[in-house]
Amino acid sequence: MSISSALSNALGGLAVSSKRAELVSANVANVSTDGYARRELSLEATSYSTQGGVRVSGVTRHVNEQTLSERRLAGAAQAHSTALLTHQSRMETLVGDPTDASSLSARLADFEASIDAAVSRPDLLNRLEDVAYSAAQVVSKISGMSQSVQDARQDADAQVAGLVESLENNLKNVEELNRLIIAAEVNNRDASSLFDQRQKLVDDISEIVPVHQMKRDFGEIALVSVGGAVLLDGSAVDLSFSGTPTIVPHMTVENGLLSQVLMNDRPAAASLSGGALEAQLTIRDELTVDFQEQLDVIVLDLSLRFQNPDLDESIGPDDPAIFTDNGARVDENALVGLSGRLAINDLISHEGAFDVSRLRSGLGAEFNGDVGDNSLLSKMKEALNEASTLPSGLGQSLFEMGSAFETHVASDRLRLEESHSFQSARFAQLKENELADGVDTDVEMQNLLLIEQSFAANARVIQTIDDLMNTLLRM
């Protein structure tokens, strides 16, 4: 080997060592950076005509595509289950624990207990006042629950608007990164940092809507949702959603009062399933609606028990009973949103006449009857314990209906909690598998020692050649 060949080889070795050290430094510095993939130098031998040695042919990003795809799908499922569990926990807190004095069942139990106390001493006005007060507490609890359900729908609607905006922006950014990567690949430039940015964006997209990533020429990718919608292939789709600032019970997608997610101006919800976006739409359009319907049925049952013509003969067929629909008689054909309109009859309300003696003599009585007459109060007590006549009441007493509602909400939360635990464990395992293919700092430190040795060896060759040249020149 000639001196010039040896010098060329040594200089090439120094250049390779320098680049390898740079990659090791980047790997270690980004060990915890989301989207970062371990880099490794690709080398190739130079031809004999160029005096031999090695040169850098490129930088390889090590990514296990199968593990990455599975982790993304698991992340979408976890985001979906997290949103549903958070909502259901909110609903369970809203209904309350039976041991909590402010829970729905506790309010109904207090109302029944106050009637029991009034039956034993109908002559005591303070006991009649307790009946009116506990009835007002039931109304307050139910009205507050109804309002909170609509607040949850509005929150979900706002979340959908934010997720759609993020999804559209991320798709546009991936489209731009595709363009930059193609340019880098065509011009033989290292595009590793661009690949990292794109991987992180696709991760974010997949959490909102789970996607499959498909390769195209020159490093470009296309994204297709699990539901079959092409979100990006060359250019990104146009997504739109109009948020609704105020939502009331009768507003639904079906009657056109709530917005749908549109993709290229067409409804797209069915093809965007599986992630955080679908979860928020499910909360807005299904879970909260179902909760409201169940609550409305309990309110209707409560109201009809006291509107029974055999209970208080002093009120007419069109007159409101103790519980009213914003002051009017409750109509079972106007069920939607009834719990939000529930009110106490003005005759016994603190905001109204507050004549609690009517609880003893009758709401429509023209004069105060016998103060010892507890017949009306006894009928009220019996009405609370009678089997429901509603098809969905299952022949239960009012208290049993309230308790069944609480149990249903709690059991749904437990079911979602189990699902969330499974999805979280699955995601954690796949994330761990992905990290196992990533940067190992111990290995990188070992590589750094090898790089140091290689650098020193090449430097020694150059030093030796320098000494030889100096010796020749002195001869």
Higher pLDDT, residue 257 or 269: 257
pLDDT, tens digit, for every residue of 210-235?
Answer: 999 999 999 999 999 999 999 999 99
pLDDT, tens digit, for every residue of 306-354?
Answer: 998 889 988 989 999 999 999 999 999 999 999 999 999 999 998 888 8
β-partners of residue 38 are: 62
CA-wise closest residue to 341 among 326, 331, 319, 321:
326
51 confidence band (pLDDT: 50, 70, 90): low
Burial 221-260 (b: 16+ CB within 10 A, else e): bbbbbbbebbbbbeebbebbbebbeebebebeeeeeebbb
**Residue 249 falls in which region: left (phi positive, over 0), alpha (psi -120 to 50) or beta:** alpha
pLDDT at 387: 87
DSSP string over 33-74: -TT--EEEEEEEEPPGGGTS-EEEEEEEEE--HHHHHHHHHH
Kindly list the domain boundaries of the chain, sorted by start residue. 3-63+439-474, 70-428
Amino acid at 28: V
pLDDT at 19: 78
Q: How far is CA 208 from CA 171, 204, 277, 465, in A?
A: 12, 7, 5, 61
Backbone angles phi, psi at 371, to 5 degrees: -65, -20
- The whole-angstrom separation of Cα 455 and Cα 110 is 84
59 confidence band (pLDDT: 50, 70, 90): confident
Contact criterion met (CB below 8 Å) for 110 and 384: no
Pairing of strands 323-325, 266-267: unpaired
148 confidence band (pLDDT: 50, 70, 90): very high
Contact criterion met (CB below 8 Å) for 203 and 78: no
pLDDT at 462: 78
Q: Which residue's structure tokens are 């090449």?
A: 458
pLDDT, tens digit, for every residue of 74-93?
Answer: 999 999 999 999 999 999 99
CA-wise closest residue to 38 among 433, 441, 430, 429:
441
Q: Which residue's structure tokens are 């729905």?
A: 104
